[in-house]
């Protein structure tokens, strides 16, 4: 699990998985598309046709407390959307 951090299971990605055979993963920020493709094919035994990536910048957050104003930031992360060949599927719920 060096490159793939966790699968993204949302309502939108579940619909895309059914209709477009596209799945989402949170991946290492330094991973490129070729490394992501190889990691998905190795881990799930599927044929990857396309990989799209998105870098998210962590938002600045602040809140007021008794001690005063606390400031912080959410983490930066990278998402990868992987399109599979038509005959392949990934079942994230098989281990439950």
Q: Summarize pLDDT for 6-22 with one digit per residue, the tens.
A: 999 999 999 999 999 99
- CB hemisphere CA count around 96 (13 angstroms): 3
pLDDT for res 53? 97
- Per run of 10 residues, the mean pLDDT along the chain (length 96 residues) is 90 93 96 96 94 96 92 95 93 74
Identify which of 27, 23, 6, 7 has the alpha carbon closest to the alpha carbon of residue 15.
23
pTM: 0.85
Task: Assess contact for 83 and 76: CB atoms under 8 A.
Answer: no
Q: Tokens for 36, please give them.
A: 């992501």
Task: Assess contact for 32 and 78: CB atoms under 8 A.
Answer: no
Task: Assess contact for 23 and 82: CB atoms under 8 A.
Answer: yes
Class of the CATH domain delimited by 4-61+70-84: alpha beta
Task: Assess contact for 80 and 36: CB atoms under 8 A.
Answer: yes
């Amino acid at each position: 699990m060096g490159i793939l951090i966790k699968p993204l299971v949302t309502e939108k990605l579940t619909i895309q998985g059914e209709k477009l055979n596209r799945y989402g993963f949170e991946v290492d920020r330094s991973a490129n598309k070729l490394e992501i493709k190889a990691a998905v094919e190795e881990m799930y035994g599927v044929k990857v046709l396309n990989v799209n990536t998105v870098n998210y910048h962590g938002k600045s957050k602040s809140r007021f407390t008794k001690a005063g104003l606390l400031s912080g930031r959410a983490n930066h992360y990278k998402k990868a959307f992987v399109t599979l060949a038509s005959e392949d599927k990934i079942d994230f719920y098989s281990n439950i």
